[in-house]
């Protein structure tokens, strides 16, 4: 759907189609346990070359309402989980790659991130949201 709000499953599709693919979808079981708790906001961060983009693409593809990933996950470890379909493509997801903002917006990065996200939200929800409220998330997970 959007670039930041409810991204599609293209990134994970590309990973699945690669010659070297390792199924790490069991990570989603751990994330599912955090839903509806105070620790539900997830930030994927780690040093370079640790698979952040792969993990983020998998998370987008599994949770995002912006796509249908049923076939993409049907032969993975998460598909064996009893709650697999309960969470599949059921959530609004915001995907941010901070490094994509850093080069162009170092001096006002927070404002630019908010602007880009709000632009997509306005496109999707039109007048159904009070845009004067601040965007906030109180916790993150280091993967």
Mean pLDDT, the chain, integer: 85
pLDDT, residue 2, reads 65
Angle between helices 98-105 and 109-125 (to 10 degrees): 120
| Calculated CA dihedral for residues 63, 54, 45, 65, nearest 10 degrees | -20
Instruction: Look at 2-6, 12-16, 34-38, 90-94 and tell me which has the smallest mean pLDDT.
Output: 2-6
Q: For the segment 63-112, what is each residue's pLDDT rounded down to a tens digit?
A: 999 999 999 999 999 999 999 999 999 999 988 888 888 888 888 888 88
The answer, yes or no, to whether residue 140 has pLDDT greater than 80, is no
Cα angle: 63, vertex 114, 25; to 5 degrees:
20
96 vs 23, 45, 78, 126, CA distance in Å?
23, 11, 24, 21
Q: Answer with the residue of higher pLDDT: 18 or 141.
A: 18
How confident is the model over 10-23, as a mean pLDDT?
Answer: 94
Give the per-residue pLDDT at 139: 47
Q: Which residues of 102-117 are buried (b: 16+ CB within 10 A; e: fewer)?
A: eeeeeeeeeeebeebb
- Checking if the pLDDT of 46 tops 80, the result is no
- Select the more confidently predicted residue: 125 or 6: 6
The CA-CA-CA angle for residues 38, 135, 131, to 5°, reads 130
Q: Which position has the higher pLDDT, 131 or 51?
A: 51
Q: What is the mean pLDDT of residues 26-35?
A: 93
Q: Is the dihedral of CA 47, 10, 69, 137 positive or negative?
A: positive
pLDDT at 133: 65
């Amino acid at each position: 759907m959007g670039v930041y709000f409810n991204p599609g499953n293209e990134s994970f599709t590309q990973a699945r189609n690669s010659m070297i693919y390792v199924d790490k979808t069991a990570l989603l079981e751990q994330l599912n346990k955090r839903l509806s708790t105070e620790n539900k906001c997830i930030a994927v961060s780690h040093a370079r070359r640790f698979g952040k983009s792969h993990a983020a693409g998998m998370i987008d593809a599994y949770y995002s309402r912006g796509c249908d990933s049923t076939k993409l996950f049907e032969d993975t470890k998460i598909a064996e989980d009893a709650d697999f379909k309960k969470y599949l493509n059921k959530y609004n997801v915001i995907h941010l790659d901070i490094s994509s903002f850093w080069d162009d917006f170092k001096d006002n990065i927070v404002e630019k991130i908010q602007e880009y996200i709000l632009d997509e939200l306005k496109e999707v929800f039109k007048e159904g949201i009070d845009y004067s409220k601040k965007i906030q998330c109180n916790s993150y997970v280091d993967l």
